[in-house]
Structure 1
Amino acid sequence: MDLLYMVALMVVAVRAGEEQYHKKFPLGHTLEPNNKYDLLDYELANTELLMSFVVFRHGDRTPDEEELKKFPTDQNYDKIFFPYGKKALTNKGKQRGYLVGEYLRERYDNLISKLYLPDEISVRTTDFSRTKMTALTALSAIYPPPPAQKWNPFLNWQPVPYDTPAYDDDDLLYYYNCPRYLELRQQVYNLPEVQKKLKPYEGLFKFLTIKTGTDISVPEDVFYLDNLFQTLANIGVRAPKWANDVMPQIKEMTKIEYALEYHTSEMIRLASGVLLADALNATNAAIEGKWDQPKLRLYSAHENNVAGFMAAMKVFKPHQPKYGSTISLELRKRLLTGQYGFTATYAADGGGPGVVLPIAGCGGQAFCDYDTFVTLTQDHVISRSDHKKLCSTPIS
């Protein structure tokens, strides 16, 4: 009898996995042997998704003051910025936020209800209008009101709340409000091996300094210029010819900047250690039976946060995450064995598709055993109180 029961249980689990797989890959879809991302997805067919922590970048925006200062001009942008204002979402940015929400609804449709149930989800934004507006547009796609929650017969929308910590207390804004992180990054710029890597770009720094009339001397300066040209393009302003001529080098420098932002364990810890700690505390509590907590936790933030969270979970390859890019850390359980573990899923474009990334140290597998993941990332975890204390501690 016990043997028959076990066989029946295995059949049910396999069929459940097959059903999940065919939702992802319809009949007629062929797995190419060299398509490692499809194969990683296939590995998850016999797992159950239990909880997810999702960080996404806001949508397309206008420039901010720091970027505009890198290339001063007499041009009056006020009319061009109208009606958005500075450092604000454009209409395309709002559309991209909606695409993020559609992607999240599709991916987590079996995790959260169609109804907005406040106990199932938590939403947090940084204290910027662009991240708040992106959250609002994403939530409108995640929770179009079903009949029970349709409060206006002419409006297919319902209000869904989010939380925004005070600017000075927000660990996601480490690159603004954590002096120690900024000191560490400056130290990294001065490392001999980094100086050697930057030496071929000395001509680029000088060229950009002459053309902009400002001091362009470290990778962050070039990154701000890159962002400036991207954001001006969002409102129809073309980059000058001299910028387009060196744009490949500018893009390479942006990639270098992202590599340097997470150069050490301490930098990763200051960037995303609190977020990772929150995820591990929540999932550990869930595994111990405490399921009365949100299944889906959303963080509407910035490209640095997407990259930083990827670095913390050991899946980051240096690049600038695009508008609307989304990284998820998913808690899963194997249906056959009951083993818990994590999966990292990255949607490089707003709206997906999402691909599963192998977590470094987990043998190239999609599913990383829970305890193994905890061990691999232990140097990246920090408590909120320790983060605040460390951020204000000067480097000796």
Structure 2
Amino acid sequence: MHRVSSLLPLLLLFLDISKSDATLTLKFVHAIWRHGDRSPSSTFPTDKGNNESTWPQGWGELTQEGMRQHYALGKLLRQRYDGFLSRAYSQYEIYVRSTSYNRTIMSAMSNMAGLYEPEGDQVWNKDIKWQPIPIHSIPREDDPMLWMDKECPNEAKMYAKVKKLPEVKKIEQEYGDLLKFLWDKTGLPGNIELDGMWRIFDPLNCEMKNEHTWPDWMNETIWADIVKLYDLSAMYYYYTEEIQRLRGGLLLGDILSRMQNRSEGTLDARQKMQIYSAHDTTLAGLLANLGALPEHAPGYAAAILVELLQSEDNHYFVEVYYRNDTNSTFSPVEVSECPRPCTLLKFGQRSRLRIPKDWYKECGLQPWYYAKPQTYLVVIGLMLAMLVVLLAIIAIYAVIQIKRRHERYIGRQLIPTDYADEDN
């Protein structure tokens, strides 16, 4: 009897949660995804069979397979949110922003083609089942929220310490022979360390997925070890909370702020979805700040969905879903310090310390460097031009004044005086 009574509160809690789940209404969605399949960003020195000319669009560009992946993701989002999102595109319902890379912009365009196939009066050409959807972007140098490679000196110092941690050195020692083999075969310069695995993984992964020829020293066994080491290196990139705060905290803050505004009625009620088309590091940074960094680095067209739901008694909840690649479905994410069902209030409380108040200052960037260097070159150039114009005006004014004084002086010399008249 005592055992039954002790389980009663848990049973009531379960029933209460089940009741809440049944009456929750979706109010807003944040979607963040990685671009689709692409060509390598670069390759290693000995990879002679694969260079920029062997890829139709050059380095780091979206492939046709990447377009298909995001078109399929758009169809999946339509299936998931049909009825919540109107079938007809509306600028008031959805806002799409991308980092300033061709591959992320084109991924967003491909995705929107799947999400919003034109119907009715939105059909503008009966031969094309497509309509243009605006994709917004800002220069990557001004985008620390989505572009994780934005300079951050303090984070770089923290990461340099992570690379020297005993657990990292232990992995490098354990796989020392393999690492040396890989560095010898690829001809990569620099130190042999776990952090450099991306320079090996990326070109080989792109070549495999696009049926390009691998180097003759590669095989499936070596590839499995490369993938394992790359996943470990990606995990250590977000190893501490201080690093996570500076690499992903801004995005977490943006999501939290928009959801709080939606719950408070200060966000346009017509908007239903905010979408960011970005990179694997963007997704990993957000997942790390949610306390849910995955075992494997985000694959092509990986996506995170952060949903805001409202109960009948006007309480708000946050649900997070993630799919790691094109072969997986969306699975719920357990947010650290906020067990499901995670209330918006609790989500905000656990997230607040992970959000930078002044990212530039916390990164150790000086105020004058807040904008991109090109901006300052333009400003300095304009200031110098204005100074030259000002000096020219002053010089012209001075010349005019000197000339006028000289003319007055000459005039006084030429005017006859009374004494001169008397002499004559």
TM bucket, shorter chain = 0.7 to 0.9
Q: Map 1:129-208 to 2 at 5 A.
A: 129-171=102-144, 172-208=146-182
Q: Check 1:86–1:200 CA distance in 2 against 1; reply closer, same or farther (3 A cut).
A: same
Q: Check 1:233–1:98 CA distance in 2 against 1; reply closer, same or farther (3 A cut).
A: same
Q: Check 1:61–1:369 CA distance in 2 against 1; reply closer, same or farther (3 A cut).
A: same
2:232 is aligned with 1:256: yes
Provide Cα deviations, 1:44-78, integer angstroms capped at 9, x if missing partner. 4432111111111111111113xx1x343333635
2:361 is aligned with 1:389: yes
Tell me which of 112, 127, 145 is aligned to 2:85: 112
Tell me which of 325, 329, 341 is aligned to 2:302: 325
Q: What residue in structure 1 maps to residue 279 of structure 2? A: 302
Tell me which of 203, 216, 236 is aligned to 2:211: 236
Tell me which of 115, 118, 127 is aligned to 2:100: 127
Separation (CA, whole Å) in 2 of partners of 1:258 and 1:74: 27
Q: Check 1:263–1:78 CA distance in 2 against 1; reply closer, same or farther (3 A cut).
A: closer
Q: What residue in structure 1 maps to residue 197 of structure 2? A: 222
Provide Cα deviations, 1:158-206, integer angstroms capped at 9, x if missing partner. 1111111112111122224334333322221012333234321222221
CA contact 2:148–2:282 (8 Å) conserved in 1: no
CA contact 2:25–2:309 (8 Å) conserved in 1: yes
Deviates more, 1:125-134 or 1:109-118: 109-118
Q: What TM-score, normalized to structure 1?
A: 0.81
Separation (CA, whole Å) in 1 of partners of 2:53 and 2:306: 41
Q: What residue in structure 2 maps to residue 97 of structure 1? A: 70
Give, in angstroms, the shift of residue 241 of structure 1.
4.6
Backbone CA RMSD of aligned residues: 2.3
Separation (CA, whole Å) in 2 of partners of 1:92 and 1:323: 10
CA contact 2:258–2:267 (8 Å) conserved in 1: no
1:177 is paired with a residue of what secondary structure? coil
2:46 is paired with a residue of what secondary structure? coil
In structure 2, runs of 5+ residues without a counterpart are: 1-16, 367-424
Separation (CA, whole Å) in 2 of partners of 1:391 and 1:73: 37
CA contact 2:113–2:130 (8 Å) conserved in 1: yes
Separation (CA, whole Å) in 2 of partners of 1:153 and 1:42: 47
Give, in angstroms, the shift of residue 315 of structure 1.
2.2
Q: Check 1:145–1:362 CA distance in 2 against 1; reply closer, same or farther (3 A cut).
A: same
CA contact 2:235–2:293 (8 Å) conserved in 1: no
Letter in 2 for 1:259: M
In structure 1, runs of 5+ residues without a counterpart are: 1-39
Q: What TM-score, normalized to structure 2?
A: 0.76
1:49 is paired with a residue of what secondary structure? strand
2:136 is paired with a residue of what secondary structure? coil
Q: How many residue pairs align between the two structures?
A: 346
Tell me which of 343, 351, 369 is aligned to 2:319: 343
Give, in angstroms, the shift of residue 43 of structure 1.
8.0
Q: Check 1:208–1:352 CA distance in 2 against 1; reply closer, same or farther (3 A cut).
A: closer
Deviates more, 1:255-264 or 1:243-252: 243-252
Give, in angstroms, the shift of residue 125 of structure 1.
0.8
Larger radius of gyration: 2
